[in-house]
């Protein structure tokens, strides 16, 4: 699986799923937030959860994050304060599962796209949004997720080579979505 550009993107996937790969200058989560806003303005029926954190925190890779459940909220923090000397991830697993439950309950066959801020460690372990993503795929709903380099291999195993990895550029993601939803 290679990172496609707008010029060479081809939608020959068996399942409509793509991952936006974060790079040093762009957070996949913030790109997906922008994509969700654009698609919502276009009248698409969205499901999922996107980041509402400060983009600078996202670029620094901090786990201090709030997710906005699509299409209209609520906004829920998914981090916990472990103290100022904590060095580990601050993800609150219980809070994440609350968001997952809200998103999962909102998906139905009329959903145009599922957008998930990140396919991360929890999804790699079989938890988090993994079942929600599988359900959307079963309903043939296009799925967009964010990934970092650390999650790329796990994501590729999950989709069995059928998905695409996209650069963190709104135009490329929208091009993929337009092809996947055609």
Q: Where are the domains of the chain?
A: 17-180
Tell me, what's the pLDDT at 84? Answer: 65
Nearest-5° Cα angle at 134, 130 to 140 = 145
Tell me, what's the pLDDT at 112? Answer: 97
The DSSP letter of residue 22 is: P
37-70: per-residue pLDDT in tens? Answer: 999 999 999 999 998 855 555 455 555 678 999 9
Please give the Cα distance from 20 to 165 (Å, whole number).
6
Domain 17-180 class, CATH top level: alpha beta
**List of the chain residues with pLDDT < 50:** 1-13, 58
Tell me, what's the pLDDT at 93? Answer: 80
Torsion of CA 97, 39, 141, 119, to 10 degrees: -40
Residue-wise burial string across 60-93, b where 16 or more C-beta atoms lie within 10 A, e elsewhere: eeebebbbbbbeeeeebbbbeeeeeeeeeebbbe
Tell me, what's the pLDDT at 65? Answer: 76
Please give the Cα distance from 61 to 151 (Å, whole number).
13
């Amino acid at each position: 699986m290679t990172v496609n550009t707008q010029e060479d993107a081809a939608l020959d996937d068996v399942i409509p799923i793509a991952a936006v790969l974060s790079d040093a200058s762009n957070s996949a989560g913030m790109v997906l937030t922008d994509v969700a806003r654009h698609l919502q303005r276009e009248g698409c029926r969205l499901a999922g959860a996107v980041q509402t954190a400060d983009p600078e925190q996202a670029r620094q890779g901090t786990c201090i994050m709030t997710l906005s459940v699509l299409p209209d909220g609520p906004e829920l923090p998914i981090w916990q304060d472990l103290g100022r000397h904590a060095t580990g991830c601050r993800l609150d697993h219980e809070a994440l599962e609350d968001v997952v439950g809200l998103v999962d309950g909102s998906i139905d066959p009329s959903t145009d796209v599922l957008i998930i801020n990140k396919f991360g460690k929890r999804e790699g372990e079989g938890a988090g949004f993994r079942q929600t993503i599988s359900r959307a795929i079963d309903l043939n709903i296009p799925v967009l997720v964010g990934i970092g380099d650390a999650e790329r291999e796990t994501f590729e195993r999950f989709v069995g080579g059928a998905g695409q990895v996209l650069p963190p550029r709104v135009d490329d993601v929208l091009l993929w979505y337009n092809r996947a939803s055609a």
